[in-house]
Amino acid sequence: MQTIGFLGLGIMGSAMAKNLLKAGFKVTVWNRSQDKCAELAAVGAGVAATPAEVTSSCAITFAILADPAAAHAVCFGADGALEGIGAGRGYVDMSTVDAATSGEIGAAISDKGGRFLEAPVSGSRKPAEDGTLIILAAGDRALFDLALPCFEKMGKKSLYLGEVGRGAQMKLIVNMTMGGMMTIFCEALALADKAGLSSADLLDVIDAGAIANPMFKMKGAQIAQGAFNPAFPLKHMQKDLRLAVALGDSLGQPLFTAAAANESFKRAKALGLSDQDFCAVFRAIAS
């Protein structure tokens, strides 16, 4: 059995790599903070010292990093993933980045004879743990087909969207929608509170009607409890909103609501809520 590489063991990556191991894949992992590799090593993963060591020894390497800067550094840095890429080796970047960053990484991988696929995911901690992510892939179609058995253990749906950039754009649009929904939801909760209405009653009304959805149900309960343990850190949502607004600028598409949501998340970051769950934007809105 060929060894699968995995770079990045944060909230998402650690759960995704564990699901590959549970499914019987041989997996070699790397993380900037090496202590995070210990938990994976305990359940059978090999541990590499550098990204280059992973890509040079694995037929396919998956990467999921925090932001464009991290994805770029892991690929292009000293002993980075690019240094280990050779003819036919696949690199699947599952980070949420802008299309330009994805395109730069993809071109560099291709120039070294490798194959590239961007494959950002829709979902947070629980879907990552349950293997029910939605995978938004674009790039090398043959690599998509090779990676599909792994995708099927990490997600419940895998889409092939065409050329590099389309997966990145789709992910930003999905997260932009989620960020906008969260801000108006938090404004509704804050307004109900100011009006002396029960938040439990508001949540009950929403859940019974046409705008009911799993996010409102789950995050409404968290907000009511003041529990903001991160399934999806607030700083990452603000990054995605920023990138989505920039995408709108590049295409001449006004994004009034997304821009307003971005300002709410920026205020939440200024209040020190970066590492809390993204529903902690409620604190910025209700304050």
Give catalytic residue positions: 171
Calculate the CA 93 to chain-centre distance. 11
Strands 26-30 and 46-47: parallel
Closest C-alpha to 95, from 152, 150, 37, 171: 171
Nearest to 36 by CA among 56, 17, 61: 17
Alpha helices in 139-230 (DSSP H): 141-154, 166-194, 199-208, 214-225
Greatest C-alpha distance within the chain: 65
Of 1, 56, 62, the residue nearest 29 (C-alpha)? 62
8 A C-beta contact, residue 234 and residue 277 = yes
